[in-house]
Amino acid sequence: MDPRSKYPKPELHGGDQEPPGSTAAMPDRPDHGEESYRGSDKLAGRKAIITGGDSGIGRAVAIAYAREGADVLISYLPEEEDDARDTAQFIEKAGRRAVTVPGDITDEAHCRAIVDRALADLGGLDILVNNAAYQMAQPGGISDITDEQFDRVMKTNLYAMFWLCRAAVPHMPPGATIINTASIQAYQSSSALLDYATTKGGIVAFTKALAEDLADQGIRVNAVAPGPIWTPLIPATMPDEKVKKFGGDTPLGRAGQPAELASAYVYFASPESSYTTGEVLGITGGKPVS
């Protein structure tokens, strides 16, 4: 299939939304692989945490992991409960255990509680996917970024990743994996997303440093760097004129869909990537990550 026309080109309609956004409110729904992803037991018996697992990339990864044989805990904000329940149903339809944990990962105690729930309800932890993120575009640049916004972006995107990893690592066996979600913004940073881009650059550095730190424990750490991907976060946090053009500036001429990233997260979580750690895989529609 021609990748340029596999999914619609701009403009996509995401609805009139406030953060964090809702899948159900999007007239043009993202594809999470609900009908297309086919598993082959690559993650049979594994136990996974996925933050931001209610919608978008997180939902696509949760569906793929479940169909590959993993039990899955998803964390999400309480206001995302409806999306989370939908995701849990897909996990359960695949015959796997779904654990839903609402709460705010900007709270260190909640991050510890997520890991504790995985250990108690799943019986262990083999895969940690740090996917949840917050952004809010500010076309005016640095002068429009408040201390409150900057603090929220840093704590959601960086602090929580650190807290979750610190809590999880002592319980992860050799062969376990950590997968972080970086972004094209780490490499092609936008002034309107200055704070968000800063955190995504930090995630790349964190991934590489943690990979070196944990290699002697047999725990691998990698990252996926998405380009413009159509999720509820986009209409909820970007100006309408940007949403209308979203993804149109990529070489493939369109936004990516969450389903197009799921296999990358499966690869990094599976034994197929056993000799890969400290790497960043860009899935960007042709935009360079270097």
Query: Which pLDDT score, from 0 to 100, does residue 290 have?
Result: 78
Active site residue 196: yes
pLDDT of residue 222: 99
pTM score, whole prediction? 0.97
pLDDT at residue 107 in the model:
98
Contact 248, 150 (CB under 8 A): no
Residue 227 pLDDT: 98
Spot the catalytic one: 37, 187, 196, 265: 196
pLDDT at position 231 is 96
Structure tokens at 158: 């960086």
Q: Regarding beta strands 47-51 and 71-76, do their DSSP bridges make them parallel or antiparallel, or are they unpaired?
A: parallel
Q: For residue 240, what are the domain limits?
A: 47-283
Domain with residue 251: its CATH number is 3.40.50.720
Rounded CA gap, 189 and 194, in Å?
A: 7
The pair of structure tokens assigned to 197 is 């881009």
Q: For residue 273, what pLDDT is reported?
A: 98
Say which residue the tokens 């939304």 belong to.
17
CA distance 203 to 136: 18
Quote the CA–CA distance of 227 and 252 in Å, as a whole number: 11
Q: Is 25 a member of any domain?
A: no
- Supply the DSSP symbol for 230: -
Structure tokens that stand for 210 in this block:
């943690």
In a domain, 39, yes or no: no
Q: Over its length of 290 residues, how does the chain's per-residue pLDDT go in tens digits?
A: 999 999 999 999 999 998 999 999 999 999 999 999 999 999 999 999 999 999 999 999 999 999 999 999 999 999 999 999 999 999 999 999 999 999 999 999 999 999 999 999 999 999 999 999 999 999 999 999 999 999 999 999 999 999 999 999 999 999 999 999 999 999 999 999 999 999 999 999 999 999 999 999 999 999 999 999 999 999 999 999 899 999 999 999 999 999 999 999 999 999 999 999 999 999 999 999 97
For 169, which DSSP code?
G
Tokens at 208, concatenated: 């590489």
Q: Give a yes or no: residue 10 inside a domain.
A: no
Q: Is 6 part of any domain?
A: no
Is 2 part of any domain? no
Number of folded domains in the chain? 1
* Domain-located, residue 11: no
Asked if residue 151 is part of any domain, the answer here is yes
Give domain status of residue 243, yes or no: yes
